């Protein structure tokens, strides 16, 4: 059986100008990056204002195994399926981070015969967006440290710098470092930290900004530190916003590539859903809605993370709403949540599946709280048995949801036609008015507790003294009306990755809270989640190589 990269490398791709033409873009509307990639320019996006929006489909999932559950695969396969049956459809997904590509999870281009191509370029440097975000963030950090060395007119307290440097790579040794060692002109000695690029506020801002002017306004609001009087110091006060915007001027333009079946795929931004808000850019989603009748987008990890943040942060900020939510599950993940070891997930085990299916049930309950139709699909693996699929189907239908088996990994768009039919029926049927989980007027603690109790199923929330003090300070600064972006493990509904299934009798532990004023949300870090991941014992990087011909091998 061919690997994902072998399938992708064997694809006969259309020129990107031909793909662009499918959504009405001419050559003046795109800036080409070679034959198969392009950026949609600002003039094109402005021209689309006022056009009627298409229907928006959100793809999310249950709590995954470490290998993921195939949301991107289903997103791309569903888009291809809708196009196969004559529906003008665009897919809008996130850009992959190099961290997972060289770590354990792999890339984010889909899999099997439901992929975005060119897969290797997408998973690696692509159009340079992540490099631009990394550079802009680190320029801000360099300007801050230079300011402290050159007289510190803003009276920044070196012990209260809150912005972190970043790198788009898993490197745990950079989590906590000391900088400024050496001579006086080598800088102010202080403790510093790194996060992965996708966890930066700059990434979040790029994904939530409506245009360049909005981007600059948001960048200026970034709180980089506090001064000796406990007052926030912003990026605008460092006078670095213009230079940051210069680095980001191309990165803010959404990218256009294609699926294996030659359909348009918008790819833009890539915040992780376990440590950031986990959605592709507002610009990409809104542009897609202007040029297609149906837009299929995704939100990262389980619905407790990506979907909650899509609905409570992105929809709140962008003024959009999904017309239907597709909830992806796998027999493997349900068995994993039922206690089956990773090495045994390919073996039939209906009893374990029925034990773990409570995880699926909780996600269904959660999504229904937003008054959005839910379609459950099984991303089918070769090892899945008829008995396992039937058990899932029965459970879903008893829960009052539509159900379909997705075979897009093996069959491409053809394998998603049953799912496409259910999605169209759900959209046609309509729903009650979409509603958010909480109102802006609630206190930050009330918002954290609402998410923890309603979405995770926690009994309550416990805060460290540091987190409690941070919440008081953030509210005193006028940020109490912002939504909350929870950072926690993706493997459990709780903040403990070992509590699988549908855990009960637990509290969520909030150890740190900080404001992302430019992005427009407050981040609450729960449990042991890290904003700079580490590599596994046997990282994927050990198996990735390039041949003399330039062909890349080992990427998945």
- Among the listed residues 194, 301, 310, 521, the single catalytic one is 301
User: Read out DSSP for 423-439?
Assistant: HHHHHHH--SPP--SS-
**In sequence order, which residues have a C-beta less than 8 Å from that of residue 311 and are 6 or more positions away?**
58, 322, 370, 372, 436, 437
Specify whether 409 is catalytic: yes
Token output for 70: 């195939």
Give yes or no for a contact between 264 and 258, defined as CB atoms under 8 angstroms apart: yes
Distance CA(62)–CA(289), nearest Å, equals 26
Distance CA(301)–CA(454), nearest Å, equals 18
Give yes or no for a contact between 527 and 534, defined as CB atoms under 8 angstroms apart: no
Distance CA(359)–CA(482), nearest Å, equals 29
Distance CA(440)–CA(89), nearest Å, equals 33
- Among the listed residues 3, 22, 381, 421, the single catalytic one is 381
Specify whether 303 is catalytic: no
Cis peptide before 118, with omega less than 30 degrees from 0? yes
- Among the listed residues 102, 403, 409, 479, the single catalytic one is 409
Nearest to 453 by CA among 467, 442, 464, 468: 442
Distance CA(91)–CA(210), nearest Å, equals 19
Strand pairing category for 484-487 and 460-463 = unpaired
Distance CA(519)–CA(78), nearest Å, equals 30
Specify whether 332 is catalytic: no
- Among the listed residues 71, 283, 447, 488, the single catalytic one is 71
Distance CA(380)–CA(395), nearest Å, equals 16
Specify whether 301 is catalytic: yes
- Among the listed residues 105, 314, 316, 335, the single catalytic one is 105
Specify whether 245 is catalytic: no
Give yes or no for a contact between 439 and 140, defined as CB atoms under 8 angstroms apart: no
Three-class SS state of 357: coil
Specify whether 92 is catalytic: no
Three-class SS state of 416: helix
Looking up tokens 């909480």, which residue turns up? 438
Taking phi over 0 as left and psi of -120 to 50 as alpha, with beta for the rest, 413 belongs to alpha
- Among the listed residues 39, 55, 94, 121, the single catalytic one is 94
Give yes or no for a contact between 463 and 510, defined as CB atoms under 8 angstroms apart: yes
For residue 102, give Cα distances in angstroms to 68, 69, 495, 517.
15, 18, 25, 31
- Among the listed residues 65, 73, 197, 200, the single catalytic one is 73
- Among the listed residues 81, 116, 273, 540, the single catalytic one is 273
Instruction: Give bridge partners of residue 77 from the DSSP assignment.
Output: none
Specify whether 105 is catalytic: yes
Nearest to 10 by CA among 93, 96, 115: 115
Q: What are phi and psi of 380, to 5 degrees?
A: -75, 130
Give yes or no for a contact between 313 and 437, defined as CB atoms under 8 angstroms apart: no
Catalytic residue annotation: 71, 73, 94, 105, 273, 301, 381, 409
């Amino acid at each position: 059986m061919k690997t994902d990269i072998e399938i992708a490398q064997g694809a006969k791709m259309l020129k990107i100008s031909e793909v662009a033409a499918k959504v009405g873009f001419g050559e003046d509307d795109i800036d080409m990056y070679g034959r198969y990639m392009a950026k949609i320019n600002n003039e094109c996006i402005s021209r689309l204002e006022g056009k009627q929006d298409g229907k928006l489909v959100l793809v999310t999932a249950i709590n995954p195994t470490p290998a993921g559950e195939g949301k991107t695969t289903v997103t791309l396969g569903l888009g291809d399926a809708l196009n196969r049956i004559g529906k003008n459809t665009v897919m809008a997904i996130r850009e992959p981070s190099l961290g997972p590509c060289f770590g354990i999870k792999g890339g984010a281009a889909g899999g099997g015969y439901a992929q975005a191509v060119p897969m290797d370029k997408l998973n690696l440097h692509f159009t340079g967006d992540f490099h631009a975000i990394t550079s802009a963030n680190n320029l801000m950090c360099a300007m801050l440290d230079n300011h402290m060395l050159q007289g510190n007119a803003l009276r920044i307290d070196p012990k209260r710098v809150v912005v972190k440097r970043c790198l788009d790579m898993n490197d745990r040794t950079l989590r906590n470092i000391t900088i400024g060692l050496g001579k006086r002109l080598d800088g102010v000695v202080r403790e510093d930290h790194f996060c992965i690029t996708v966890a930066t506020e700059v990434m979040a801002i790029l994904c939530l900004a409506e245009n360049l002017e909005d981007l600059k306004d948001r960048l200026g609001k970034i709180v980089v530190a506090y001064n000796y009087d406990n007052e926030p110091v912003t990026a605008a006060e460092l006078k670095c916003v213009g230079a940051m915007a210069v680095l980001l001027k191309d990165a803010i333009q959404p990218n256009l590539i294609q699926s294996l079946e030659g359909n348009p795929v918008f790819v833009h931004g890539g915040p992780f859903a376990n440590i950031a808000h986990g959605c592709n850019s507002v610009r990409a989603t809104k542009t897609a809605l202007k040029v297609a009748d149906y837009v299929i987008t995704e939100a990262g990890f389980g619905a407790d993370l990506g979907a909650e943040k899509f609905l409570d942060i992105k929809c709140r900020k962008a003024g959009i709403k999904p017309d239907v939510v597709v909830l992806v599950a796998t027999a493997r993940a349900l068995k994993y949540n039922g206690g089956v070891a990773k090495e045994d997930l390919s073996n039939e085990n209906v009893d374990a599946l029925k034990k773990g299916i409570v995880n699926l049930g909780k996600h269904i309950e959660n999504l229904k709280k937003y008054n959005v139709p839910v379609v459950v699909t099984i991303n089918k693996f070769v090892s899945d048995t008829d008995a396992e699929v039937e058990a899932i189907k029965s459970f879903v239908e008893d829960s009052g949801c539509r159900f379909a088996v997705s075979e897009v990994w093996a069959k491409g768009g053809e394998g998603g036609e049953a799912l496409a039919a259910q999605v169209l029926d759900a959209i046609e049927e309509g729903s009650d008015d979409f509603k958010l989980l909480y109102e802006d007027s609630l206190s930050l603690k009330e918002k954290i507790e609402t998410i923890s109790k309603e979405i995770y199923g926690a009994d309550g929330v416990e805060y460290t003294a540091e987190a409690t003090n941070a919440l008081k300070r953030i509210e005193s600064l006028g940020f109490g009306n912002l939504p909350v972006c929870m950072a926690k493990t993706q493997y459990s509904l709780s903040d403990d990755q070992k509590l699988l299934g549908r855990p009960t009798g637990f509290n969520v532990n909030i150890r740190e809270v900080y404001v992302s004023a430019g992005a427009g949300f407050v981040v609450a870090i729960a449990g042991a989640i890290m904003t700079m991941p580490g590599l596994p014992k046997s990282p994927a990087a050990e198996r990735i190589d390039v041949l003399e011909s330039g062909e890349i091998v080992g990427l998945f």
